[in-house]
Amino acid sequence: METISKKFTIYWFRKCQRIHDNKGLLDSSIQKNLLPIFILDPWFIKSDKTGTNRIKFLLESLSDLNANLKTYNSNLIILYGNPSDIFEKLAKHSENLYFELDTEPYALDRDRKVQKICEKEGVQVHRNAGHTLLKLADLAQAGESCKNMGDFLQFIKESMIDKPLEKPDDLPSLPADYEKILKSLKIEYSNQVPSLSEIDRNENEATASLKGGETEALNIMNDYLKDKKKVNNFSKPFTSPNSLKPSTTTLSPYLKFGCLSPRLFYHNLKKVMDRNATQPPVSLVGQLFWREFFYSKSYTVKNFDKMVGNPICKQMNWERNEEIIRKWEMGQTGFPAIDAVMNQLRQEGWMHHLGRHLVACFLTRGHLYQHWEAGRDVFDKYLLDADYALNNANWMWLSCSSFFSQYWKVYSPISFFQKTDKNGDFIRKYVPQLKHYPAEFIYEPHKAPIMVQKRCKCIIGEDYPLPIIDYKKEGAINMQRMKQVFADSKDQSIKEEKKSISVTPKKGKVVKEESKSNTKTIKDFMSDKNQVKKAAEEWALGEDQNIQNDKKAIHSNQNLSSKSRKKSLKQ
DNA sequence: CTAAGTGTTGAGTAT
DNA sequence: TATACTCAACACTTA
């Protein structure tokens, strides 16, 4: 019987790298023998798909978490290995497992395996959702019923967004014999967060300025909220993509790792904003709603990260020219604005949203006509805030594959940045070879007379590349290609409609209605509550049963918790 | 049924 | 320096 009392309660940190608004941590804090862990999964840390800057951000975030846990006389334990392998060993010595749900396909699969292993050993698995504003059932319904942001804004209601939870008052200290047990199980562990070099990363590649961690996240947020005017007037399209100091909050990496709770940010924004504040989708709350909308789509759309087999993605004949893609990645296109943004990406792991637009449009439909998946992979490698839902959604948006279809609106690699940075200071910073160029030539340095190039100590074609394409020519060609793609897919959909009618000519009308009901609008959903329920059930049937059970459990779980919170508020 | 309006963030030119 | 118009014209909703 003595062994039973020694069993662990595990809180498994993954994306929810914070003390505040963390339901699982709060719940686990009343258990005995609490072991807070983070697993350094080779899938993430050893993958050449993950850049060093993001690893650096993660380690900083974990160090901050560890420091916070130490103020409770607890400690973060780092485990090394594949989560399934670890839980195969650890489950026998555990009583409870707490973690926050993650809707990414990799995570859903990983967690399903871990849960199976744990349940076999009689471990109680407690899952909570705190990575999005909405509860998972609402998120799923939004994903099913909302085609665009307009739909989503009608769908989301303030009452759906729970208030953030306080951090725990106390945490139990570590189980006395945890080291002995981990050793006997042959689980590689450390009670310190490793350095980059300890996990075989080159420290010289860690060049990003943003520092990970909950403390940093709260500081940045609180600083930003102090300027009420700035918060109230925030309008995304009018923020500058190429100011030397970021014109937006830079909170995205903190939301990605869960250093900051989106619900805390949301409710804090609400406190600061007044009646005259800008509104979604352009306001700061709007930015959280974009995140939410894309999460809802990524949760419900199959093959969201691919063109083929993705029902919302336009099928196009993209090219994959490795040489062109690598030049774009490494800032070697000969277009200073493009190269500056790509250099900023590799150096800082962060770019302004519109900088991302510029280079993504250029790579895909605008000029180079390369596959959006190739660009997505490059962003996924270098971005601190790389996020399955947002990255894929935005690449589909910019390439006119989904959500957006006005393909004739193309960003100019020359003039778009000139509007907000005539002198080219941003270029001078991120393409330093060009720093002596006069403003007149800085966006098109190959046009500078050779005398000017010599004087500026940067010969184009030697010290900085010539433009890899004639952008006006290629832009015109691509415009025609896009026109053709859209015309073809229009033909296709008309053909399909005719086909479906001709199969059942007498029931043409019925067929039409049926096809309409397949693409339910938000209004249909809102107008009839039973229909909402029915649709949710229909959706549930088509889903993997395991995931579905997750969602149901979470929904009822959260309902309960919000009720009990209200109760405790009354008392 | 048609026309007009809307969609987070276009460019180039004229006034 | 700011605003309006034109370019060429998708997908979808509303009047």
Closest CA to the C1' of C11: that residue is A405
A26 in the same domain as A135: yes
Judged by DSSP in three states, A110 sits in helix
Distance CA A449, CA A451 (A): 5
Judged by DSSP in three states, A243 sits in coil
> Of the residues A472, A504, A521, which one is the last residue of a structural domain?
A472
pLDDT given at position A500: 59
* DSSP character at residue A370: B
* DSSP character at residue A61: H
A189 in the same domain as A327: no
pLDDT given at position A502: 53
Give the containing element (helix H, strand E) for A79.
strand A77-80
Show which residues sit with Cβ under 7 A of nucleic chain B.
Answer: A 148-150, 236-238, 281-282, 286-287, 290, 353-354, 357, 397, 404-406, 408-412, 414-416, 419
The answer to whether A337 and A427 are in contact (CB under 8 A) is: yes
- What φ, ψ does residue A303 adopt, rounded to 5°? 55, 40
A50 in the same domain as A195: yes
The answer to whether A65 and A214 are in contact (CB under 8 A) is: yes
Contacts of A544 (CB under 8 A, 6+ apart): none
**Alpha-carbon separation of residue A250 from A21, A96, A475 (angstroms):** 20, 36, 32
Distance CA A337, CA A330 (A): 13
> Is A364 marked as a binding-site residue?
no
CATH number, domain of A169, equals 3.40.50.620
Closest CA to the C1' of C8: that residue is A408
Task: Give me the CA A346–C1' B11 separation in Å, rounded.
Answer: 29
Closest CA to the C1' of B6: that residue is A150
The structure tokens listed for A293 are 């909308």
Judged by DSSP in three states, A95 sits in strand
A56 in the same domain as A188: yes
Band (pLDDT 50/70/90 cuts) for residue A347 is very high
Q: Is residue A245 part of a domain?
A: no
Distance CA A291, CA A260 (A): 14
What sign does the CA torsion over A209, A210, A216, A220 have? positive
A459 in the same domain as A553: no
Q: Is residue A557 part of a domain?
A: yes
Q: Is residue A12 part of a domain?
A: yes
Q: Is residue A152 part of a domain?
A: no
Contacts of A565 (CB under 8 A, 6+ apart): A163, A165
Q: Is residue A279 part of a domain?
A: no
The structure tokens listed for A551 are 């969602």
A331 in the same domain as A188: no
Task: Give me the CA A100–C1' C14 separation in Å, rounded.
Answer: 42
Segment A270-316, tens digit of pLDDT:
999 998 899 999 999 999 999 999 999 999 999 999 999 999 999 99
Band (pLDDT 50/70/90 cuts) for residue A356 is very high
Distance CA A300, CA A303 (A): 9
> Is A293 marked as a binding-site residue?
yes
A404 touches strand C (CB under 7 A): no
Task: Give me the CA A408–C1' C6 separation in Å, rounded.
Answer: 13
* Least trusted range by pLDDT, from A34-38, A238-242, A352-356: A238-242
The answer to whether A416 and A410 are in contact (CB under 8 A) is: no
Q: What is the mean pLDDT of chain A?
A: 88
> Of the residues A431, A452, A472, which one is the last residue of a structural domain?
A472
A454 in the same domain as A561: no
pLDDT given at position A430: 98
Residue A94 bridge partners (DSSP): A8
CATH number, domain of A414, equals 1.10.579.10
- From the list A63, A119, A122, A87, the residue with the least C-alpha distance to A12 is A87
Band (pLDDT 50/70/90 cuts) for residue A539 is very low
Nearest nt to A493, CA vs C1'?
Answer: C11
Q: Is residue A308 part of a domain?
A: no
Identity at A259, one-letter amino acid code: C
How many domains, in total, are found in chain A? Answer: 2
Helix intervals (H) in A244-283: 252-257, 262-272
CB-to-strand C under 7 Å, chain A 463-502? 483, 486-487, 489-490
Band (pLDDT 50/70/90 cuts) for residue A494 is low
Nearest nt to A405, CA vs C1'?
Answer: C10
- For residues A494-517, average pLDDT: 46
Task: Give me the CA A419–C1' B12 separation in Å, rounded.
Answer: 13
Q: Is residue A289 part of a domain?
A: no
Nearest nt to A406, CA vs C1'?
Answer: C10
Which nucleotides of chain C are near protein (any atom < 7 Å from a CB)?
A: 7-14
A413 in the same domain as A555: no
Task: Give me the CA A146–C1' B7 separation in Å, rounded.
Answer: 15
* DSSP character at residue A159: G
Percent of chain A with pLDDT over 90: 81
Q: Is residue A117 part of a domain?
A: yes
Judged by DSSP in three states, A419 sits in coil
Q: Side by side, which strands form the sheet with A189-190?
A: A124-128, A94-100, A8-13, A34-40, A77-80, A189-190
Nearest nt to A280, CA vs C1'?
Answer: B8
State which residues form the domain around A389: 322-472
> Is A315 marked as a binding-site residue?
no
Judged by DSSP in three states, A117 sits in helix
Distance CA A115, CA A83 (A): 11
Nearest nt to A357, CA vs C1'?
Answer: B9
A50 in the same domain as A177: yes
Distance CA A512, CA A507 (A): 9
Band (pLDDT 50/70/90 cuts) for residue A43 is confident
Length in residues, chain A? 571
What angle is formed at CA A7 by the lines to CA A6 and CA A8, rounded to 5 degrees? 115
Count of C-beta atoms within a 10 Å radius of residue A444? 18
Closest CA to the C1' of B10: that residue is A409
What angle is formed at CA A187 by the lines to CA A182 and CA A191, rounded to 5 degrees? 65
A460 in the same domain as A362: yes
Distance CA A488, CA A430 (A): 41
> Of the residues A472, A502, A529, which one is the last residue of a structural domain?
A472
Task: Give me the CA A243–C1' C12 separation in Å, rounded.
Answer: 36
Asked whether the predicted pLDDT for residue A71 surpasses 80, the reply is: yes
> Is A387 marked as a binding-site residue?
yes
Q: Please state whether A21 falls in left (phi above 0), alpha (psi between -120 and 50) or beta.
A: left
Task: Give me the CA A416–C1' B11 separation in Å, rounded.
Answer: 9
- What φ, ψ does residue A106 adopt, rounded to 5°? -60, -45
- For residues A409-438, average pLDDT: 96
Band (pLDDT 50/70/90 cuts) for residue A491 is confident
Asked whether the predicted pLDDT for residue A226 surpasses 60, the reply is: yes
A397 touches strand C (CB under 7 A): no
**Alpha-carbon separation of residue A333 from A367, A370, A373, A386 (angstroms):** 11, 14, 19, 23
Three-class HEC string of A304-341: CCCCCCCCCCCCCCCECCHHHHHHHHCCCCCCHHHHHH
Residue whose pair of structure tokens reads 């975030």 in the numeric block: A61
Show the beta-strand stretches assigned E in A397-459.
none
Asked whether the predicted pLDDT for residue A501 surpasses 70, the reply is: no
Prediction pTM value: 0.89
Judged by DSSP in three states, A36 sits in strand
Task: Give me the CA A406–C1' C4 separation in Å, rounded.
Answer: 21
- From the list A566, A536, A562, A564, the residue with the least C-alpha distance to A551 is A536
A565 in the same domain as A445: no
Task: Give me the CA A548–C1' C10 separation in Å, rounded.
Answer: 36
Nearest nt to A475, CA vs C1'?
Answer: B11
Asked whether the predicted pLDDT for residue A210 surpasses 50, the reply is: yes
